C-alpha cells in the first residue's frame, strides 16, 4: 500500500466511532487484498465474495477491538480468516467446483445471497446524502444532451466567420455583420437549443424518483448550454476585437481596459440570458419544442422589425434585445449613447435572470412535467 499505515489505524479508530466515510476508504483500499486472500482459502469465486462481505461486516462491527496491536493489514487478514473458517465449517464444504457460467443465474444467486447476508451493505454505507457536483456528472449531462448541442454555437459562429470573409472579399466592412452574428443569431440559437432540451427529457419519470432534485438538474442543463455558448462568444469577441472589427459603443476611456472589454461583452450576454430564460419558460409552459421554437422565432422577427417601437416606450426596454446592431450610434453624443446603451443592457440582463428564476420555479411541479412528457 502506498499510504502510511498510521493513516489506516486512524481509519479504524474512526470506523469504531461509526464513521461511514472512513469505512468506505478502508474498503476501497483493502478489498482487493482481502479478496485475493480469501480466494486462496476457497477457489469458488462466489463463495469468496460472500466471505468478503461477511468479513467487511465483521470489520464494521469489531473495529473497536483493534487495539493497535499489529499492523492493520494483519488484523484484517485475521478477521477474514476467522470468518472464512466459521462459514466453511458451518457449510461443511466443499461445494462442487462449477464455474459460474454453467449455472444459469449463477451470478444472480451469488449477488442475492450477498445482499441478504449483510444487514447494512457496503453500498448503502457509501451513499452520500447531499453529495457534491462532480465533474463526472457534468460530463454526463453534456453527453446526454447530444453532440448537436455542442456543435450548434460553433457552427453558427463559423458560418458568420465565413460570411465575414466573403464580405471582405467584396470590399465591404464586415464589422456590423459580425456584430449581428454575435448579438442576433447566437442568442436565438441558444434559446432554441434550451427549449428543445428542456421540453423533452426521455427519462423524466425515472429522474423524478431519484433523490437529486430535478429542478437542480434542469437548471444545470440550461446553465451548461448558456456557459458553452458564452465560451464560444467570448472567443469570437476576442478575435473580433483583436482584428479591430468591433462594432460596439465605445465605453469611456477612463475605465481600465479589462472593464471596457467586459462591458463590451454585454452586447451578446444580455440577449443570450434573456432568450435562454425565455426559451426555458416557454418549454416548460407549452411543453412542445415546436411551439417554443416558433414563438422564439416570432419574438426575434418582431424585435427586428419593430425595434423603434421597443426603443421608444420605456416599459418595453427590458425587452429591447438587439440595440447594438440595429440602433447604432446616430447623431448622438458617444458618452450619452453609451450610458443609455449600458442601462438597457443591464435591464435586459436582469430580465433574463428573472426569466431563468421563473423557469426554475416552473420545474418544481412534477405532475406537470410528467404530463408534458407525452406531447405531440
Partner 1 sequence: MEIKIYHLNKIYRGGVHALVDVDLSIPSGMYGLLGPNGAGKTTLMRILAGILRPTSGSMQVGEQDGNTERGRTAIKRILGYLPQDLGMYPDLSAREFLDYIGILKGIDERKIRQQRVEELLEVVSLTNVANRKLKTFSGGMKRRIGIAQALLNDPKLLIVDEPTAGLDPEERIRFRNLLSDLGGNRTVLLSTHIVEDIAQTCRNLAIMNNGQVIFQGTTVELASETRGKVWIVTTDGAKPEGNFTVVSTLNMGTTIQYRVVGELSEPAGVISAVPTEPSLEDSYVWLMREKRSPVKALV
Partner 2 sequence: MNQLPVFFGVLKYEFRMQIRRPALWITMVLLAVLITGAGGAFRELLTYQISSISLVEMVVRWTVRMNFIFPVGVGVLLADRLPRDRRTRVEELFWSMPGALSARMMGKFFGSMLAALIPLLVFYVIGTGCILYHTQDLMTLPLALAAFAVIVLPGMLFISAFSIACPAILWVPLYQFLFTGYWFWGNMLGPRVGIPTLSETILTPAGGYMAAGFFGVPAFQIFDFRVTALQGMESLSLLLGITGLVMVVLWCFLKWQQARQ
The site for partner 2 (CB under 8 A) is made up of 148, 152, 163, 167, 170, 172-173, 176-177, 185, 188-189, 192-193, 195-196, 286, 288-291, 293-302, 304-306, 309-310, 375-376
Q: Dig out the grid coordinates for 357 from the structure.
A: 428564476
Size of site (CB under 8 A) for partner 1: 49
- Alpha-carbon distance of 55 to 31, in angstroms, equals 10
Q: ω into residue 290 within 30 of 0, thus cis?
A: no
From the list 67, 92, 96, 132, which residue makes contact with partner 1 (rule: CB under 8 A)? 132
Q: Do the beta carbons of residue 229 and residue 186 sit within 8 Å?
A: yes
From the list 13, 73, 82, 126, which residue makes contact with partner 1 (rule: CB under 8 A)? 126
What's the min distance (Å) between Cβ of 208 and partner 1?
5
144 binds, among partner 2, partner 1, none (CB under 5 to 8 A by kind): partner 1
Q: Do the beta carbons of residue 43 and residue 86 sit within 8 Å?
A: no
From the list 13, 19, 24, 288, which residue makes contact with partner 1 (rule: CB under 8 A)? 24
- Residue holding cell 458617444? 334
Query: What are the Cα distances from residue 14, in Å, to 21, 26, 139?
Result: 9, 11, 33
Count CB neighbours of 54 within 10 A.
Answer: 21
Q: Dig out the grid coordinates for 89 from the structure.
A: 465449517
- Residue holding cell 462442487? 96
Select 47 or 180, whichever has its Cβ closest to partner 1. Answer: 47
Select 143 or 159, whichever has its Cβ closest to partner 1. Answer: 143
19 near partner 1, rule: CB under 8 A = no
- Alpha-carbon distance of 172 to 164, in angstroms, equals 9
62 near partner 1, rule: CB under 8 A = no
* CA-derived radius of gyration, the chain: 31
Select 86 or 290, whichever has its Cβ closest to partner 2. Answer: 290
What's the min distance (Å) between Cβ of 300 and partner 2?
6
Q: Dig out the grid coordinates for 218 from the structure.
A: 434542469
Interface residues with partner 1 (CB under 8 A) are 24, 27-28, 104-105, 107-109, 111-113, 115-116, 119, 121-124, 126-129, 131-132, 134, 136-137, 140, 143-144, 146-147, 201-212, 217, 366-367, 370, 373
Amino acid at each position: 500500500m502506498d499510504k502510511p499505515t498510521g493513516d489506516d489505524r486512524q481509519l479504524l479508530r474512526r470506523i469504531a466511532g461509526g464513521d461511514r466515510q472512513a469505512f468506505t476508504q478502508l474498503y476501497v483500499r483493502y478489498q482487493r487484498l482481502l479478496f485475493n486472500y480469501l480466494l486462496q482459502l476457497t477457489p469458488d469465486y462466489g463463495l469468496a465474495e460472500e466471505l468478503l462481505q461477511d468479513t467487511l461486516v465483521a470489520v464494521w462491527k469489531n473495529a473497536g477491538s483493534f487495539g493497535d496491536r499489529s499492523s492493520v493489514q494483519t488484523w484484517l487478514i485475521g478477521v477474514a480468516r476467522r470468518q472464512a473458517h466459521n462459514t466453511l465449517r458451518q457449510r461443511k464444504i466443499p461445494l462442487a467446483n462449477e464455474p459460474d457460467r454453467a449455472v444459469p443465474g449463477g451470478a444472480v444467486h451469488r449477488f442475492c445471497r450477498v445482499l441478504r447476508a449483510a444487514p447494512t451493505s457496503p453500498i448503502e454505507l457509501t451513499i452520500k446524502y447531499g453529495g457534491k457536483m462532480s465533474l463526472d456528472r457534468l460530463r454526463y449531462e453534456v453527453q446526454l444532451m447530444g453532440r448537436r448541442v455542442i456543435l450548434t454555437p460553433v457552427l453558427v459562429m463559423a458560418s458568420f466567420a465565413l460570411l465575414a470573409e466573403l464580405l471582405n472579399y467584396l470590399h465591404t466592412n464586415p464589422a456590423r455583420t459580425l456584430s449581428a452574428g454575435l448579438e442576433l443569431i447566437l442568442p436565438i440559437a441558444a434559446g432554441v437549443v434550451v427549449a428543445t432540451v428542456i421540453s423533452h427529457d426521455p427519462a423524466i419519470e425515472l429522474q423524478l424518483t431519484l433523490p437529486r432534485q430535478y429542478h437542480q438538474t434542469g437548471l444545470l442543463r440550461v446553465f451548461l448550454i448558456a456557459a458553452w455558448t458564452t465560451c464560444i462568444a467570448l472567443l469570437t469577441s476576442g478575435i473580433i476585437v483583436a482584428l479591430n472589427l468591433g462594432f460596439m459603443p465605445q465605453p469611456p476611456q477612463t475605465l481600465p481596459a479589462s472593464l471596457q472589454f467586459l462591458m463590451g461583452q454585454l452586447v451578446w450576454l444580455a440577449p443570450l440570458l434573456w432568450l435562454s430564460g425565455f426559451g426555458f419558460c416557454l418549454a416548460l409552459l407549452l411543453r412542445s419544442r415546436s411551439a417554443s421554437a416558433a414563438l422564439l422565432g416570432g419574438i426575434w422577427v418582431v424585435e427586428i422589425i419593430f425595434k423603434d417601437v421597443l426603443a421608444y416606450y420605456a416599459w418595453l426596454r427590458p425587452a429591447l434585445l438587439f440595440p447594438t446592431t440595429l440602433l447604432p450610434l446616430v447623431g448622438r453624443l458617444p458618452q450619452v449613447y453609451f450610458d443609455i446603451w449600458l442601462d438597457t443592457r443591464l435591464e435586459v440582463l436582469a430580465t433574463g435572470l428573472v426569466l431563468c428564476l421563473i423557469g426554475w420555479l416552473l420545474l418544481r411541479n412534477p405532475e406537470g412535467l410528467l404530463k408534458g412528457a407525452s406531447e405531440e
